[in-house]
Amino acid sequence: MSDRIAVYPGTFDPITNGHLDIIERATDLFDKVIVCLAKNPSKEPLFSLEDRRAMLQEATAHFNGRVQIDILEGLTVDGARKYDAVAIIRGIRAISDFEYEFQMALMNRHLEPDLHTVYLMPKEEYTYLNSTIIKGVARHGGNIRRFVPPGVEQRLLERFGHRKP
């Protein structure tokens, strides 16, 4: 029997504890999760692709090989095909996320009918989090410790010229 693989695409600029919670939930459902670091031309990331990859690798090391990090160029369904994935993982924080995610899932189903989209909700304490909010708090020297992995906190504080509290 082959491994059941899922891909989890995103820009992860930077990865948050909400993202990690989704990854952990996905590893409960699938044998392997490929976190696909997307190049999104409509976004200007704070961190380089390589910095984001390093943060993801550091933050997911404790999954002991069940989580792999890759860079995704092009369509998510192409990345899923590359790994023989059976599902795309998407995090849903609020009802407002659903409309966009639903449209994407329908298009992905059109492009690859055998690929499922699986929506996972993070723990309640992370439902309002996103990378943009985290960057805004960090930019102004706010405490982000409980929202991001330690390595991410350090990189954000350094990026904005703050010291660790």
Catalytic residue annotation = 19, 43, 93, 131
CA 17 – CA 32 distance, rounded (Å): 19
CA 116 – CA 154 distance, rounded (Å): 36
The dihedrals phi and psi of 32, each to the nearest 5 degrees, come to: -145, 140
CA-wise closest residue to 155 among 10, 64, 50, 62: 50
CA-wise closest residue to 164 among 156, 53, 118: 156
Q: Report the side by side order of strands in the sheet with 67-72.
A: 67-72, 32-38, 5-10, 87-91, 116-120
